[in-house]
């Protein structure tokens, strides 16, 4: 049983909850539990979409600096792969994912949120990658995912200065996709995730893979990835169900099985 990271499933939606008071500092145990829980969410057929949530007051205020402060180069060289895998775990889930952000999402906390497909923030949120103020850089995927999301110039500004970005600016630069009142963050994330509870799971996974993998390569290779994934869906039950339903009843009425 995980101590700090849990998965609760209801109505097809899995909620990954970070719960290490007071600030959800992401030590190595939390990183490992994040990886394990993300694998569970991937494996479970009853999970159609995933919310990652830090609670009503804070998302996660970064890695556990006390744990890292006395680590040597050799120790960090051996630990960094695990750190990056844990903080990037949400990105590995082949299902629609949304980060529900209240309060601080800093350093490793923001890196966890960057792994989601969508980010919904409370208007009290403060986001940033302040690692430069510790004499290091983001190491859990932040330099890569942030630049891909908001562009290299804005990412460099955030990484170079370590400044905190408030919710309104985060929305304007595309760092978050929606801003709501803090007590509505989880409900808004759940409303988005609920769209997929009866969805064509294999098609959703293919769509996510095509977009994510295509962004990491040139256009021709991306189109080849798309062709492969598109054709593969013709081996699924949901493709047959969806097309038959469309012909007989029109769009949007198919009842998918996830197979």
> Tokens standing for 183?
């007590």
Q: Which backbone phi and psi does 75 adopt, to 5 degrees?
A: -65, -45
Domain count, the chain: 2
Same domain for 17 and 145: yes
CATH of the domain at 26: 3.90.226.10
Q: Which backbone phi and psi does 62 adopt, to 5 degrees?
A: 105, 180
**Contacts (Cβ under 8 Å, ≥6 apart) of 30:** 4, 5, 18, 20, 24, 64, 86
Using the Cα atoms of residue 229, residue 230, residue 234 and residue 240 in order, give the sign of their dihedral: positive
Task: Enter the pTM of the model.
Answer: 0.94
Does 257 map to a domain? no
> Tokens standing for 110?
């923001």
Does 256 map to a domain? no
Cα–Cα distance for residue pair 131/138, rounded to 1 Å: 6
Q: How far is CA 71 from CA 5, 143, 191, in A?
A: 24, 22, 42
Asked if 90 and 116 touch (Cβ cutoff 8 Å), the reply is yes
Candidates 196, 258, 213, 254; CA nearest to 233 is 258
Cα–Cα distance for residue pair 239/200, rounded to 1 Å: 8
CATH of the domain at 238: 1.10.12.10
Does 254 map to a domain? no
Same domain for 40 and 125: yes
Residue at which a domain ends, from 156, 180, 196: 196
Per-residue pLDDT of the chain (259 residues; tens, 9 = 90+): 789 999 999 999 999 999 999 999 999 999 999 999 999 999 999 999 999 999 999 999 988 888 889 999 999 999 899 999 999 999 999 999 999 999 999 999 999 999 999 999 999 999 999 999 999 999 999 999 999 999 999 999 999 999 999 999 999 999 999 999 999 999 999 999 999 999 999 999 999 999 999 999 999 999 999 999 999 999 999 999 999 999 999 998 999 998 8
Residues carrying an active site annotation: 111, 131
Same domain for 145 and 172: yes
Cα–Cα distance for residue pair 96/192, rounded to 1 Å: 9
Structural domain range at position 189: 5-196
């Amino acid at each position: 049983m995980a101590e700090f990271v849990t998965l609760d499933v209801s109505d097809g939606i899995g909620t990954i909850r970070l719960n290490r008071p007071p600030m959800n500092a992401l030590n190595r145990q939390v990183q490992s539990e994040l990886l394990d829980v993300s694998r569970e969410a991937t494996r479970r057929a009853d999970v159609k979409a995933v919310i990652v949530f830090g609670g009503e007051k804070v998302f996660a205020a970064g890695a556990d600096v006390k744990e890292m402060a006395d680590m040597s180069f050799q120790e960090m060289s051996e630990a960094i792969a695990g750190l990056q895998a844990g903080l990037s775990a949400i990105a590995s889930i082949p299902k629609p994912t949304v980060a529900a952000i209240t309060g601080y999402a800093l350093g490793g906390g923001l890196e966890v949120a960057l792994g989601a497909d969508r980010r919904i923030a409370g208007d009290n949120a403060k986001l940033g990658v302040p690692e430069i103020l510790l004499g290091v850089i983001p190491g859990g995927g932040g330099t890569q995912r942030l630049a891909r999301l908001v562009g290299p110039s804005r990412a460099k500004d955030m990484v170079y200065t370590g400044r905190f970005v408030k919710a309104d600016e985060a929305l304007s630069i595309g760092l978050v996709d929606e801003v709501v009142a803090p007590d509505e963050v989880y409900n808004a994330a759940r409303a988005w995730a609920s769209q997929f509870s009866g969805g064509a799971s294999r098609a959703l996974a293919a769509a996510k893979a095509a977009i994510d993998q295509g962004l990491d390569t040139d256009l021709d290779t991306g189109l080849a990835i798309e062709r492969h994934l598109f054709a593969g869906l013709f081996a699924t039950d949901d493709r047959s169900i969806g097309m038959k339903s469309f012909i007989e009843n029109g769009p949007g009425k198919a009842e998918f099985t996830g197979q």
